[in-house]
Amino acid sequence: MVTIFEQGHGQGIGYMLDSFLKRFIDICEEHLENGRAKAFAFLLYDFQNQNIKDILKNQGGFAQLDRLSGNDLSVFYLHSDNIQLVKVFNEIFLGAFEIKNDYQLPFVLFFTVADREVTNIEIVELEQTNLMFSFKELYDITKNYISKIKDHRIEKIQPKANKITAYFRTFKKIAVDKLINWIIDKGAEKASEYI
């Protein structure tokens, strides 16, 4: 679990928002090179989703997710009480990953970085409204994705649906330079208004 903090509010391990936006791809490549991750994810949620905020603020829930993700998956999320900044953060990465309005927040956006490209984009919507079930849903989704990493099944994933979650799969390659330009040009500009 990798926290992204607002300017001046960072505590512990994580990144300040402005530097994260400027160095996003570099951070991913550093995690790969240092054995900190094999794949990546964004936990995107709107400000009205109290369950996700409570899970991330709860030391026990955060610790369990952090242990689970370990050196297999770096999960990025924004830690902020600023409604507008959360909205802008979501817009930045929804735009950067070219995600249309087909998905409902909250969701987990999984992806890999290889050969200077972002690949294997997978979106999993979070549907539970009860706090305990929300944590279990997020934990299970993360655990399932990590098992795919360990079994080298990332590129062979087939869409699945069940009563608890719906898996939406999109295979895209996004040129890293395009992603960096989007984040720096559009994202940093928008985010600077709220930092």
Domain boundaries, the chain: 2-190
Instruction: State the CB neighbour count (10 A cutoff) for residue 129.
Output: 10
CA distance 98 to 190: 17
CA distance 158 to 127: 20
Give whole-number Cα distances, 169 to 3, 156, 180, 187, in Å: 25, 11, 23, 25
H helices present in the chain, as ranges: 17-33, 50-57, 59-69, 83-96, 131-150, 176-181, 189-192
Whole-model pTM: value is 0.77
List Cβ neighbours of 3 (8 Å cut-off, separation of 6 or more): 10, 12, 13, 14, 15, 77, 79
pLDDT value at residue 40: 96
The predicted-structure confidence for 150-186, as pLDDT tens digits, reads as follows 888 765 433 333 333 333 333 344 555 566 666 666 6
- What DSSP character marks residue 22? H
The predicted-structure confidence for 34-91, as pLDDT tens digits, reads as follows 999 999 999 999 878 888 888 988 888 889 999 999 999 999 999 888 889 899 999 9
The predicted-structure confidence for 110-156, as pLDDT tens digits, reads as follows 999 887 678 899 999 999 988 889 999 999 999 999 999 988 876 54
> Using 50, 70 and 90 to split pLDDT, how confident is the model at 28?
very high
The yes/no answer on whether domain 2-190 falls in CATH 3.40.30.10 is: yes
pLDDT value at residue 157: 37
Query: Is residue 105 scored above 80 in pLDDT?
Result: yes
